[in-house]
Structure 1
């Protein structure tokens, strides 16, 4: 049954119909259970960002009262927001989960990766991610990507096959009619799985409000020292900002998405509550990545190029 059909049923007042959020939750839970039954060694990418937080919440629901049968993986750029890292560690301890951390800094220290002149480490995540997948032999990797975020992600299926080099080929996408997912893969290949594919940013926030999910405080309006670069408010840090001529000022801001500090911008906002954030997003005409992610503005095909190399 399509999402539009669910909305029409809701409008008709059918007391037995699933709500829109119930439908999305049910689909995601089905995906988690399908992967658990079909794959040998799945892993969940968990960064302490809102999408990975919702994804873990859904996984906990899918298998309750049993523990989540997957480990977690975080590719740490070394330039992550402290609020997200603290949340990550608290959550892992709270639910007695096992976390693998692949550190970009370790690769730089070992001479296997080189710092970029612009200080951005997001593109450097690909090698630690793909090598962690190969080292631990993960055959299914859950990510929090959504189709509404960016046009390259809109092209991707829920089950996305990656070759032995973790590369994505759009021509190898498989049909997923009637929520039938094909996880078949050759030795050395793996499947990236996106339980939130059909969610929007607004859906995510409405679900967070409904489920009363705790988030890092960085997602709500707060005073922060920021500087303006390429139309975005960035946080000063050891990654290389600000440059000469870039003035730091204290502003009331919040973050719509949380990634590497060097390429994730804040937005001016006075939204300090969930209801205020939801109202703000409902009025926005820019996607969260389009508004606040500098790495997606490098070229028209920036995200697709990174995905072809093995990035999420």
Structure 2
């Protein structure tokens, strides 16, 4: 019988991503993989495992910790890094605030403060390439990204100053001080990510599944009750069955009402959604029409 060598959509995406990860490892002296413990970075970690198996992943994993992250996600991050025997580099927003290098504005998310801490951490450790899990379907500014996104000596992004990418040929040449942000999941969608999690049996943090949590409404979003998120007058806490579509800072990441307690139920839910996860649940992206692009120009990932 003839053998069918055609790849499914997911396996074609996987092969493309593994190729990109290997290209980064081959072209750069000191790359790092951004790993927050979120679903996209969990997929990235699995792809990196496959890219170098049976050898260990040959670079560090990096997380910029705002100090306001969900405890379940931090526990998951630390456990996965330990299981794989990887070196974890953490840039702490709280330490930068305590040292007076950045200033926190009362009542505002710390997400924007990540940018300076990220740039400081990259400079301190000499990273010349960062592998991130951003996808083009997430947000308009991210749709402008190349797979190899060039950053100048100040770590800043100029969408008009990027290299052409013909087929699968990527230009990784940089001068000292410059860097590249590489996005192997560029061509994936949220649904692709969940289907891959299902096919590969990936473990992800528990808050992605439906659970009971004390929440309150703010600006049309369900935010979690937390010591780091003071409530305003008139905001009443109630218990609801919710889950998270994306994971970020507690102060700006909203939950969605959901009873999806399995990956298969989440896939069915995502397949019928008409709003991206960031558009639906990330307050920091609602700041202005160009909020994400402004942060990326400053050096955000």
TM-score, scaled relative to structure 2: 0.98
Match of 1:51 in 2: 40
Greater helix fraction, Structure 1 or Structure 2: 1
3-state SS of paired residue (2:112):
helix
Counterpart of 1:152 (choices 141, 147, 157) is 141
Partner of 2:109: 120
The match for 1:245 is: 234
The 2-side partners of 1:81 and 1:183 are apart by: 35
Matched residue, 1:84 = 73
- Computed over aligned residues only, the root mean square deviation of the Cα atoms, in angstroms, reads 1.1
Q: How far did residue 117 of structure 1 move?
A: 2.5
Q: Which runs of 5+ in 2 are unaligned?
A: none
2:229–2:250 CA contact under 8 A, matched in 1: no
Structure 1 segment 1-312 matched on structure 2, within 5 A: 15-312=4-301
Conservation of the 8 A alpha-carbon contact between 2:221 and 2:281: yes
Matches of 1:240 and 1:254 in 2, distance apart?
18
Structure 1, unmatched stretches of 5+, are 1-12
Q: With the length of structure 1 as denominator, give the TM-score of the two structures.
A: 0.95
Is residue 49–residue 84 contact of structure 1 (8 Å, CA) maintained in 2? yes
1:130-173, CA deviations, whole angstroms, 9 ceiling, x for partnerless residues?
Answer: 01111111011011100000000000000001011100011111
Q: Deviations over 1:48-82 (max 9, x none)?
A: 10111100110000000000001011000000001
Rate the CA distance shift 1:152–1:14 in 2: closer, same or farther, 3 A: farther
Q: Deviations over 1:239-279 (max 9, x none)?
A: 23322210000000000000000000000000000110000
CA distance in structure 2 between the aligned counterparts of 1:140 and 1:24, rounded to whole angstroms: 21
For 2:279 and 2:57, how far apart are their aligned partners in 1? 33
Shift of residue 14 of structure 1?
8.2
Report deviation, 1:238: 2.5
SS of the residue aligned with 1:173?
coil
- Which aligned runs of 4 or more in structure 1 are off by greater than 4 angstroms? none
Task: State the shift of 1:227 in Å.
Answer: 0.5
Q: What is the count of residue pairs matched by the alignment?
A: 300
